[in-house]
Structure 1
Amino acid sequence: MESLLILRRPLFLLLTCSAALLLAMPSETYATRFIVGGHNGWTSNFNYTEWAKTQHFYLGDWLFFVYDRNQMNVLEVNKTAYDACSAEYPLHNWTTGAGRDVVPLNVTRHYYFISGNGFCYGGMKLAVRVENLPPPPKAALASHKNGAPNASSLIMVRLATAFAVMWALLFRI
């Protein structure tokens, strides 16, 4: 019986600490990984302008290009090169050779991408505008000003409750 209690105590501590950490984690995620073109990927004969219109790109998001590595590439260019489908002087070549390239959107600005080897003329070009994260809704700000609990205070209450329960159960065993 004694050995069973010894085995249960570390397991109990591990589980309760894990639960407390999960409660403390923010429920919102701030970065999104966009698979460029959705299930179509980075390919010719697809309208990336229309696809980009259905997305919102924010600071910290990622673009994930999936394509045929033997034929295509991912080049970041300026607007002039984008409009002309010119791969002559890219700002950055994101091609890694694996056909699965990730581009971090870490600056708020316009980004322009094309695929060289003539594929840009077949529609393989993407322009995105990266914005700052939108501010929290006014209702959340108003409730905080009126003394209603905000998300961080609710997390603290959850943590304190979880800690109190852990403490009580730990010394009861």
Structure 2
Amino acid sequence: MRRRNIWALLMYVIVMMIIVVESSLHRVGGGRYNWNPDVNFSDWANQQRFYSGDWLFFGFDRTHHNILQVNKSSYEQCIDTDFIFNVTRGGRDVFQLLQPKPYYFICGKGYCLKGMKLAVNVLPQPPPSTPTVPITPTSTATALIIPSSALIAVAAAILTAFAFKPSYVY
């Protein structure tokens, strides 16, 4: 039973080390803009690449604005009823783009008609062999890439630590 647990732990550690986690934080509107009226968020979004796992950061005055996730029809017509999710918490809010699909956001306090709306098309994560995204002021990227020699060394260390205990240790 103990050996089975050791092997399960070893496999878990190896899998966790192999997985490449890469995500970016996108400051909505870029470095100079926040979630405000009269900003062309469509132009900004068209210059970005969004991948599943990425985050959107919205900075705004919550007494005047909010962020609602809506469907495509509500986005196009600036309808703030029957929204999917109210992202608004404190004026410096984040939203994680979990699935590869289009996401739509509007300001539900009447400013959608002044351009406070955002549509992003989220792509699936690229394969691990792809180079990491460069770090810019508007995004951060983290990646964990472990060479196979390091995985073998870790596996050997774990096996040595757990599998070759003296017989008197139970």
SS in 1 for 2:80: coil
* RMSD of Structure 2 on Structure 1 (CA): 2.8
User: When the two structures are superposed, what TM-score results if normalisation uses the length of structure 1?
Assistant: 0.64
User: Which structure has the bigger radius of gyration?
Assistant: 1
Provide the residue aligned with 1:153 in structure 2.
148
1:129 matched to 2:124: no
Q: Percent identity?
A: 42
Q: 1:25-50: per-residue Cα shift (whole Å, max 9, x none)?
A: 89x76010111011211111000110
Structure scoring higher RCO (CA < 8 A, sep ≥ 6) equals: 2
Q: Which residue of 2 aligns with 1:49?
A: 42
Aligned partners of 1:94, 1:126: CA distance in 2, in Å? 13
Are 1:109 and 2:62 an aligned pair?
no
Higher helix share: 1
State the match for 1:86 in structure 2. Answer: 79
Q: 1:73 aligns with which of 46, 60, 66?
A: 66
Give the 3-state SS of the residue equivalent to 1:38 in structure 2. coil
In 2, Cα distance between the equivalents of 1:154 and 1:99?
Answer: 46
> Any gaps of 5 or more consecutive residues in structure 2?
1-16, 131-144, 155-170
**2: CA distance between counterparts of 1:103 and 1:69?**
16
Q: Runs (4+) of structure 1 moved beyond 2 Å?
A: 135-138, 153-159
Q: Distance in 2 between matches of 1:105 and 1:123?
A: 21
TM-score by length of 2: 0.65
How many residues align? The count is: 127
Partners of 2:104 and 2:125 lie apart in 1 by: 20
**1:135 offset after TM fit, Å?**
2.3
Q: How far does residue 154 in structure 1 lie from its aligned partner after superposition?
A: 5.5
Unpaired runs of 5+ residues, structure 1, are: 1-24, 139-149, 160-173
Matched, 1:32 2:32: no
For the residues of structure 1 that align with 2:149 and 2:115, how far apart are their CA atoms?
Answer: 49
